[in-house]
Amino acid sequence: MHAQFAPRFTRAQQLLIAILVLLFVGSAGFITWRVVSRDDSTSSGSVELAQHVVSLTETSLTIASADGTPTATAALPTGFDAMVVADQGRWLLEDNRDTAVNYFDLAATQPELRTVELPFPGFAIHSRTVRVGNDVVLLYSPDGLLGLAVVNLVDGTAYPIASAREKYYEAGSVRDFLLFKQVDGLNTVIVPVADPTAFWIMKGAVVDIRGTTTLIATVDGLANYVTVYDGLKVVGLRVQVENPIMGGMLTDTGAVVLEKTGGITVVDNLTGKVKRAGVSEFGAQGAIPVADNRLYGWGGEGSSILDEAGLPLAQATYALGTTAAGEQRPLVATDGGLGCLVLQPGPQRVAAGAGGLLVSVVDGTELLQLAASPSWVSSDGCTLVGLDASVVVDGRVVDVGLDQVFFVSPDRRSVLGRTASGDGTAQFVLLDLATNQTTELQSGFHLFAMF
């Protein structure tokens, strides 16, 4: 099985360097932020979702109720490579790059393999669009040789989006929007994770997105500008700032941006006024929006969470972290959501000596020190599973006594993991956190699903 967990910020520093270079030469650029800024996913409409346990072996698929009681089974075709995501919903897809999308409808009375044929080989399924409530998933080309397409899993249709004649490469994400850069042009396609069909196209560096409002940075000669758009319509004025932009966020009246020199600037795009809020004490390597009024910035001297006025929160300034190799580096955000951020000195996942922190997005309070990187993080960022089998639920450590933990349930009442049985072999279990009772599961891979 091919497990894909919560989004990782593994290319963050490289992509932020890329935006700086692109802005200097006056081309379109991008800022990348892999934190999922959203509420826990819910299905469209008024259908009430139920929690299930899905078990996968090499040959079979078993669906069980929340307490582990089997309700349906299905045969898996030989070599079926399941795409396992943290926010698993109704659809279980195969993680393939071929001329077809294969999947199961877990909500069916008798799940059967479905197939949607594609016109070209080389498409990959974007795992962030495979989540609770989504019936449409995005297809993209990892090598940038194809355009973008979607598959409607309900009716089994596939069709291109944007321009079918253009080629696009993935350029990261901002909040809950995926960015794809035109290979032979300046356009950036913005794809909402929740509904890939509601895409739109912008020119310039996408700095922040809130709903359909977009903050764009551009360069004209040596001059740097920020512009706010509502859809494709300019809101107010294009405003010039003094230095190249390293990141920023939208506000109710414009934007807050971090400049390359460390200056923190508040822009009012309605009046065109520019106000210097201060100079960063942590440097200016990058900044990313983490909530509607929270900007996380970092540099060579540390990092901080800023408010809508560009000022650091009282308890939200962090020193450099120490990597497992003993190097001092700024803390970058590797996971998180609207509740909490996971901060580490570098994006690499490590099972020990992570030097990480779990902090509150609301007030910047340090909630926990993390000895290991997380292998799974909830959509709000406050519940996680560590590579060292540690479990944190709503910002608090929970002792589960298992050798390995895979997932925490959506209702935060149970976990799926592995322990050693009496003869020393691995035993997969469903653990009730309230009663500490375990339900033994068959060998294989197990995950929670909401549908």
Whether residue 269 contacts residue 252, with contact meaning beta carbons closer than 8 Å, is answered with: no
Report pLDDT for 33. 38
Report pLDDT for 18. 39
Report pLDDT for 312. 96
Where b means 16+ CB within 10 Å and e means fewer, 281-312 reads: ebbbbbbbbbbbbbbbbbbebbbbbbbbebeb
Lowest model confidence (mean pLDDT) among 32-46, 244-258, 280-294, 420-434: 32-46
pLDDT at 228 over 80: yes
> Mean per-residue pLDDT for 307-314?
95
At residue 164 the predicted structure's pLDDT band, cuts being 50, 70 and 90, is: confident
pLDDT, averaged across the chain: 88
Tokens of 19: 């935006």
Report pLDDT for 15. 37
Tokens of 432: 């009730």
pLDDT at 347 over 90: no
Question: For residues 295 and 8, which has the higher predicted lDDT (pLDDT)?
Answer: 295
Residue 380 amino acid letter: D
The distance from CA 361 to its chain's CA centroid, rounded to whole angstroms, is 16
> Mean per-residue pLDDT for 330-357?
94
> Mean per-residue pLDDT for 256-264?
97
Percent of the chain at pLDDT > 70 equals 90
Report pLDDT for 23. 37
Q: pLDDT of 42-63, one tens digit each?
A: 344 456 899 999 999 999 999 9
In degrees and rounded to multiples of 5, residue 224 shows phi and psi of -110, 135
pLDDT at 364 over 90: yes
Comparing CA positions, the residue from 304, 311, 370 lying closest to residue 335 is: 370
Question: If you average pLDDT over each of 17-26, 161-170, 252-261, which comes out highest?
Answer: 252-261
At residue 145 the predicted structure's pLDDT band, cuts being 50, 70 and 90, is: very high
Report pLDDT for 46. 55
pLDDT at 35 over 90: no
> Mean per-residue pLDDT for 289-296?
94
Percent of the chain at pLDDT > 90 equals 81
> Mean per-residue pLDDT for 213-230?
96
At residue 163 the predicted structure's pLDDT band, cuts being 50, 70 and 90, is: confident
